[in-house]
Amino acid sequence: GAVVSQHPSRVICKSGTSVKIECRSLDFQATTMFWYRQFPKQSLMLMATSNEGSKATYEQGVEKDKFLINHASLTLSTLTVTSAHPEDSSFYICSADSLGSYTFGSGTRLTVV
Amino acid sequence: DAKTTQPPSMDCAEGRAANLPCNHSTISGNEYVYWYRQIHSQGPQYIIHGLKNNETNEMASLIITEDRKSSTLILPHATLRDTAVYYCIVRVIMEYGNKLVFGAGTILRVKS
């Protein structure tokens, strides 16, 4: 079946630095990828929809300049958390659309200290 | 906003069928219902999806009411490994594409 690889699985960074998270579709091409954030004991919250070759569409309340999304190829989307703060600590999960089937990555645990 | 409501938690005995209900009374005619589950600190795992007909695969069955305002996910023989958070999701159609908006989900505890 379709596989989505997310890297890194865990990252610790200092306040004020930027962190890049990669999401790759390994055996299929994904014109659309999605980025979610999940706080402890809460559901997944959609942050943005990323379409290959175009600007991402952000959900209401998500800062575009803080969460930079790039979808430069049909198999790779990246999320960069800029100027990270402790409140950005969360579980970030990507998903890729394969003709109506949505495959999720294993998530990235970000801790900002 | 999520278009689904689910009970916050359910218990099920191992080996018995687990029936997880979901209400989606505002669903539009061309919006699909998806079910995913999430085990702690992992990405959601696809279970099944459907539009109006009942669906079955190796993992589960999905029963959608005729008016499409609710559905039930059935795990026929629950095991301890089925303990997870189960999400019922309506795939929302947007002008720029479709997206899955998660609701709160149901914590299913399978007990021996």
The pLDDT averaged over each successive group of 10 residues in chain A (113 residues) is 93 97 93 94 94 90 95 93 97 91 95 98
Residue A43 to residue B99, Cβ atoms within 8 A: no
pLDDT category, B95, cuts 50, 70, 90?
Answer: confident
Q: Is B97's CB within 8 Å of A102's CB?
A: no
CA dist B55 and B43 (Å) reads 23
pLDDT of residue B1: 67
Chain A residues closer than 8 Å to B36 by CB: 104
State the average pLDDT over residues B5-29: 96
> Mutate which of B4, B9, B55, B99 to disrupt the A interface (most A C-beta within 10 Å)?
B99
Q: What is the mean pLDDT of chain A?
A: 94
| Tens digit of each residue's pLDDT (9 = 90 or more) over B28-81 | 888 999 999 999 889 999 999 999 989 999 999 999 999 999 999 999 999 999
Cα distance between residue B31 and residue B20, in whole Å: 20
